Chains A and B, each alone.
Chain A
Amino acid sequence: MGRSRNVEALESGGETLWRAQYYEPAIADSGERKTRFQTQSLRWDIKPLYTQADLDAIGFDPEKDLGLPGTYPYTRETRAAGYRGDLWAMTQVSGFGCAEDSAKRWAYMVEQGLDSIIVEYDLPTTNGYDSDNPLCRGEVGRAGMALDTLQDMEDALDFPLEKLKNLTSVCNAPQPVNLAMLIKALQRKGKNLDEIRLMMPNTILVEYTCVGRYIYPPKHGLRLACDVIEYCMQHHKNWMPLNIVGAQIYAARGNPVQEIAYSFAMARAYIDELLSRGHDINEVAPMVSFITGIDMDFFEAIGKLRAYRKVWARLMKEAYGASAEEALKLRLMSSPGTMSMALQQPLNNIARLGIEMLACAIGGGAHTINTPLYDEAHALPSEDAITIGANIHHIVAQETGVADTIDPLAGSYYVEYMTKRIEDAVFAELEKIEAMGGALGALEAGYFQSELAEEQIAMNRDFHSGERKFVGVNYLVKKDEQREIEIFRHDEAAEARQIERLNRIKGQRDNAAVERVLEKVREAARGTTNMVEPMLEAVALYATHGELCDAMRDVFGEYDPNALTPML
């Protein structure tokens, strides 16, 4: 089936000929429906048609740029079998109230067909305070689970853990304390640690950039993160102790190029620190993984997912001389975007989740996919939202066929064009960041923060002007809308319950031993030894989360509370 000579002539004559002969006449009467066609986040102009000529113009070479699934540069998929072997692990973020409230919820989620859980802790925990600290009024157990002592962690893990493919624990600034509590709690529950796949974002550099749950100055934050990674490299090689949450950079309105470039610049900071400790890149790189946020622009999303794995492979090979396959293969969790979950007409979000999940499945590369839920903008998830969120995974996986062949959009002119352009732009941005002294330099100069603020303002203006449409929010708005869904209500009594638990434990422990172990922690912080070992000893004596964070505050000090907002 040869292509008609007409098509070949048009292509070799370039798009100009086709435009003149076909496109212009087609829009002559009523014009195009928009004054500008642009991609959603990158604001790149979109042409009516992409052909081989567009790929030639940017130097696309299928041999070099694509490869095959499981082969360098992994554009077509890191795992040779794609989703024909195993599907992605299906997960959601969860955690609220006291430990047993969360454990009960997680058991429910497993019943709904999820096989992975992302544990979220409350703001007192992630900011390194105990629940009885006056700064934490009104926040205990609200935006996540309260955690003060090892007893809380043991009670939290009281659900069918063995049914999970992985368990993610989000506690970035105090990650060594959190890791120690997880290890001790799992051991006390008699679990085989090799059979559990623990993931820890440990993504402190993202916290300084756009989330804000940091405690210590960045160089100490980086040291603690690397202690956690190093400890896992030596004792739990199957765990994933660094998941750089690009999804938060996306949520701060970072475009795909910024998300990948900032995430990889951050990855370089952790890697360089671990290499300076004498580790080998082929051992270090497989410890690094990423979590990406996927927005509504379908082709930006697919291009982003494909460029992610290709840039990583090239960066590890070209900048670090990595040679092991596992060092070159990107590890990724993908997540439909929380930012596309509207407050207005929240059931519309179910459609958005389906579309974004489809992009995640087609773009591939993710061992795990996370879904936010349709009531995201209202409150923590309701049980209804959790069930529907779980079903969206299964509908995409089982009913659409998109997971049945690998990288099905490869060879599409537009998809390859988008993938390569993102790749090229990421390398250019990475160079710029390197010139600022890498991620730490860019962070301390406020570069990441102010670039993201520019995007936030620009995106808000796009919504405001109607340039970007958001159904139910600035387009087809329902007058006098009343909320039509049931939402989760926080248990206001949780704070008092948690403080009582904390006091009970403090009354039962050996306080002199706790004092001694806190001094040991300060001593380790002053030196250069790995902080995880003394933390393991300390949590077993029921030193509290806040006490351990304070012991490190005594040595490291606290960081500028306004690091996120240099432009305000």
Chain B
Amino acid sequence: MMDQPIRVLLAKIGLDTHTIGITVLAKELRDRGFEVIFSGLKQTPEKVANAALQEDVDVIGVSCLSGGHMTHLKVLAEKMREMGLDDRILIVGGVVPEEDVEPLKALGVDQVFTMGANIDDIARYLHGAVSA
């Protein structure tokens, strides 16, 4: 498993177009040997789940800074379950208040990374989670 590069779909859902976090993360993960696919901006949860299936990714990373994360992740997690993708690692980054972290995990999100998250920590987490 560790010889195959980990495939990551980075996604933006809804009308939020803050792109700095996702741009930096894509570059840094690629430099660390990950294969990174970008969903494009202004996607629906349905499209993101479809792309994850088609690209057969190991990880879906959703970036959300508008505050709409609970709405979007609820739909995305449902779609992933319907499509049999609930074994994939689902991570969320952006502006997420502490009190939303547990409810997100209850929806099926594996981990939440917010402002100031260290990219080495994210990479280490993904290696651990995907090989587990």
List A residues at the B interface (Cβ < 8 Å): 123-124, 127, 135-139, 142-143, 210-213, 252-253, 342-344, 377-379, 453, 456-457, 460, 464, 470, 473-474, 482-483, 487, 490, 561-562, 564-565, 567-568
Flag if A212 contacts B44 (CB, 8 Å).
no
Given contacts A453-B23, A483-B98, contact A212 B17 (CB under 8 A): yes
Chain B: minimal CB distance from A121 (Å): 12
Flag if B66 contacts A473 (CB, 8 Å).
no
**Which residues on B sit within 8 Å (CB–CB) of A473?**
115-116
Chain A: minimal CB distance from B45 (Å): 9
**Which residues on B sit within 8 Å (CB–CB) of A456?**
20, 23-24
Flag if A143 contacts B41 (CB, 8 Å).
no
Chain A: minimal CB distance from B17 (Å): 3
**Which residues on A sit within 8 Å (CB–CB) of B116?**
342-344, 470, 473-474
**In the bound complex, CA of A342 to CA of B75 (Å):** 30
Chain B: minimal CB distance from A415 (Å): 30
Q: Is B93's CB within 8 Å of the partner chain A?
A: no
Flag if B66 contacts A143 (CB, 8 Å).
yes
Flag if A138 contacts B71 (CB, 8 Å).
yes
Flag if A457 contacts B19 (CB, 8 Å).
no
Flag if B115 contacts A212 (CB, 8 Å).
no
**In the bound complex, CA of A378 to CA of B98 (Å):** 9
**Which residues on B sit within 8 Å (CB–CB) of A213?**
15, 17
The count of chain B contact residues (Cβ–Cβ below 8 Å) is: 35
Given contacts A343-B115, A460-B28, contact A562 B15 (CB under 8 A): no
Q: Is B88's CB within 8 Å of the partner chain A?
A: no
Q: Give the residue among A123, A135, A464 with the most B Cβ atoms within 10 A.
A: A123
**Which residues on A sit within 8 Å (CB–CB) of B41?**
212, 561-562, 564-565
Flag if B67 contacts A567 (CB, 8 Å).
no
Within 8 A of A (CB), among B7-31: 10, 14-20, 22-24, 26-28
Q: Is B34's CB within 8 Å of the partner chain A?
A: no
**Which residues on A sit within 8 Å (CB–CB) of B27?**
453, 457
**Which residues on B sit within 8 Å (CB–CB) of A127?**
15
**In the bound complex, CA of A457 to CA of B15 (Å):** 24
A-B contact pairs, 9 of them (CB 8 A): A138-B70, A378-B95, A457-B28, A464-B119, A464-B120, A470-B116, A567-B23, A568-B10, A568-B26
Q: Given A142-B66, A143-B16, A562-B40, output 11 extra A-B contacts at Cβ < 8 Å.
A: A123-B15, A139-B15, A139-B71, A212-B17, A212-B19, A342-B115, A342-B116, A378-B95, A457-B23, A457-B27, A564-B19
Chain B: minimal CB distance from A112 (Å): 24
Flag if B24 contacts A561 (CB, 8 Å).
no
Flag if B15 contacts A377 (CB, 8 Å).
no
Chain A: minimal CB distance from B14 (Å): 6
Q: Give the residue among B14, B70, B71 with the most A Cβ atoms within 10 A.
A: B14
**In the bound complex, CA of A564 to CA of B115 (Å):** 21
**In the bound complex, CA of A212 to CA of B67 (Å):** 17
**Which residues on B sit within 8 Å (CB–CB) of A135?**
14-15, 42, 44
Flag if B40 contacts A123 (CB, 8 Å).
no
Chain B: minimal CB distance from A207 (Å): 9
**Which residues on B sit within 8 Å (CB–CB) of A143?**
16, 66-67
**In the bound complex, CA of A487 to CA of B19 (Å):** 24
Interface string of B89-128 (1 = CB under 8 A from A): 0000001011000000000000000111011100000000
